[in-house]
Amino acid sequence: MRNLIVKILLYLSIITGLGYSTPGFSNPLNIPEEKLKKLAYSKEWLRLVHYDKGLFGFSARADGKNFYLAEDGKTNPFSELKASIKHFLNEESSREDHPICQFPARVKWIEKVFPKIDIPEMSCEDYEKFVERVDLNKVYLVFSSYYLNNPSSAYGHTFLRFSRSNEHSYSHELMDSGINFAANPTTTNPLAYAVMGIIGGFKGHLTNIPYYYKVREYNDFESRDLWSYELNLNKDEMEMLVAHVWEIGGTYFDYFYFTENCSYLIFAALEAAKPSLNLLDNLPFWIIPSDTVLTAIETKGLVKNIYYRPSIRKQFYHKLKLLDEVEKKILKKSLINQDPIIKDNISEERKAKILDTALDYIDYKHPEQNNTKKDLTKKSIKVKQKFLFARARNKTISPKITVPMPLEEAPHLGHNSSRFSISSEKFLNEDAIRIEQRFSHHDFLDRSVGYPETAQIEMFNISGRYLLDSKDIELDKFTLLKIKSFSPLSYFEKPTSWQLELSLKKDLSSNCDLCDSVNFQTGFGHTLSFFNEKLMAYTLWNVRANYSPSYFNEEFLLTLFPEVGLLIFLNSKIRASIAYQYLFYFNGQNNYEYTLNTQLRFSLSQNFAIDMKANLLRDFDSKVFSLGINYYY
């Protein structure tokens, strides 16, 4: 009841401008109440304590109670400022748990706006050790590329790197600190993980991790590239950022996968350190790590330099390209036989090139042998040791090899993740206008710059059409999740191509009269690439389960359908697909049907594209054609 009364008083103070006093606040500097209230609702204070203003007042994003010094601090910026000043002037607490040690960024700000305030000097050993450990000279926003094998990283990941060095190099940055915000999951069940991540069921914590751990995790174990964006912060702003990171590292935030996620909190921390930034206002409602990078780049004067750290996979393939055909043949033979002894009559320099490439391949294919906690009797470790001994006997000093920055994969050059589409459509025998909204984030035919060439992930697609003759409006499809991974086979890799879809869609088969059905499908197969991956041919064995009370035979429909298709990538802008499906219905009205789906997309710019589709359904008796435009935002 008391909290309710406090909230009512707060709302009245916001509306009337009268304010009220925090019990026990003694106003030691005789600060005018109006000035204090103005500062409490200033952008700097609201960002420092992570307040959001809503329809009925303020609420703070931090969810740990220890982040607020006032009883109503989570909803009352005015009360929290008064409580902060009161506690900072109180020397009764022990040193390490004193609010001065807990909230150094607040102390810095209050001393700045109230120069005459006499906050006591205090030795905060833990905080001082943290400042000394990060030894901040530069700040980087780091983007770790997409990784479909982990649901939490399917959209990539962003975090901060606190650099000790004024120089940028692969060796120097290993001594840096990674400032990472992530959820602490309480389940390993994929479905429960997805639901809890969407509704904010996990606690998110900000942690300080040695950067070489992040390099090990992303570059080596998951073969993900790291893109570092050097941020333009002055000394005072970097000191404030370090102090604020310390503050929020002592609490937790409810983690929402699409909104209050890793990207959101990092931008909120940067805004607190540099209030002139307006990063969060420029982000879409659904916050994806790649959107964070685009926003940082588009913020004038924020990004100074861009650096690229290739994954171990990229390093291997770059070295592989530097080998001639004879050297590649010897490499394959050595890896097949797991024998590093090269008996061919070639120079020691060429043998060194082959052995260096082989070692990178072993690191890429067997990252577990880099984990000292694993059993050292593992076969991959013994194989690597054999190649290391052979390389040590070869006295050739290898030249430094730098993997060039692949601008075609740069996340800051990619299209925006949300997409709105409108098209003119010939749906069966009727003209229609079709509208589609995709909230995230990429498919095969989208402009490929900044996104994985052979992966597709889409969530929350909704589409419908207006039928011009009958004047009907109908929902066409709602896709909760659609993932495809079509990595091509090669001598050095044998990945499985796969797809997964969960949706509510209008069934266009002969099993009902355009009924709405719940659709779940998955499939596995393989992909081959030709002409330097400009043409990819794939095969999938798919299974689909549908539910609809309007099916002619049964409410549940089970379908097996092999699929063959082509992906044609003329360049990053002109891309097409052709897919043929042979559908065998276990319990449908007919035993089988076949369909042919074709699509061509031409990207006019980073965020505009023209789309053409032609779908032949029900043994080619039914047809759907469309021509439209896509806008990415």
Residue 20 pLDDT class (50, 70, 90 cuts): very low
Query: What are the respective helix, strand and coil percentages of the chain, to the nearest 5?
Result: 30, 30, 35
Q: Is the pLDDT of residue 27 over 70?
A: no
Residue 68 confidence (pLDDT):
94
Across 336-360, average pLDDT: 94
pLDDT for residue 93 is more than 70: no
What single-letter amino acid sits at 313?
R
Beta carbons within 8 Å of 144's beta carbon, 6+ residues apart = 153, 156, 157, 158, 159, 214, 218, 224, 225, 226
Q: Mean of the pLDDT values across residues 302-310?
A: 96
Tally the C-alpha atoms within 13 A of residue 287's C-alpha that lie toward its C-beta.
23
pLDDT at 472 over 80: yes
pTM, 2 dp: 0.88
Please determine, for residue 11, whether its predicted confidence score (pLDDT) is greater than 80. no
The reported pLDDT for the residue numbered 2 is 37
> Is residue 467 helix, strand or coil?
strand
Calpha distance 472→432 (Å, rounded): 9
Range with the lowest mean pLDDT among 18-32, 125-139, 184-198, 264-278? 18-32
Question: Is the model's pLDDT at 253 over the cut of 80?
Answer: yes
15 pLDDT higher than 50:
no
- Cα(484)–Cα(419) distance, integer angstroms: 18
265 Cβ contact list (under 8 Å, min separation 6)? 181, 204, 206, 248, 253
Contact 507, 546 (CB under 8 A): yes
DSSP state of 282: G
Three-state SS for 135?
A: coil
Q: Find the mean pLDDT for residues 227-240.
A: 97
Ranges 301-305, 419-423, 455-459: which has the least confidence = 455-459
CA distance between the termini of the chain: 45
Q: Is the pLDDT of residue 570 over 60?
A: yes
The average pLDDT across 193-198 equals: 83
Residues 339-356, mean pLDDT to the nearest whole number: 94
Rounded mean pLDDT of the chain? 89
pLDDT of 553: 86
- φ and ψ at 199, to 5 degrees? -95, 5
Q: Cα–Cα distances in Å, from 26 out to 84, 100, 138, 162, 608? A: 12, 18, 40, 39, 60
- pLDDT at res. 371: 57
Question: Average pLDDT for residues 542-561, to the nearest whole number?
Answer: 95
Identify the pLDDT of residue 7: 39
Q: What are the phi and psi torsion angles at 15 (to 5°)?
A: -75, -45
CB of 509 within 8 A of CB of 618?
Answer: yes
For the chain, state the CA radius of gyration. Answer: 29
Which residues, including other chains, have CB under 8 Å from residue 518's CB and lie 6 or more apart? Answer: 503, 504, 546, 547, 548
Determine the pLDDT at residue 152. 62
- CA 294 to CA 416: how far, in whole Å? 8
**Nearest-CA neighbor of 417 among 291, 263, 282?**
291
Q: Check residue 9 and give its pLDDT.
A: 40
Q: What angle do CA 84, 87, 89 make, to 5 degrees?
A: 110
Average pLDDT over residues 14-18: 35
Q: Residue 472 and residue 470: Cα distance in Å, rounded? A: 5
pLDDT range class, residue 151, cuts 50, 70, 90: low
In terms of DSSP H, where are the helices of 278-433? 289-298, 312-321, 325-337, 348-365, 379-393
**DSSP 3-state of 355:** helix
User: Mean per-residue pLDDT for 624-630?
Assistant: 97
- Over 60: is that where the pLDDT of 17 sits? no
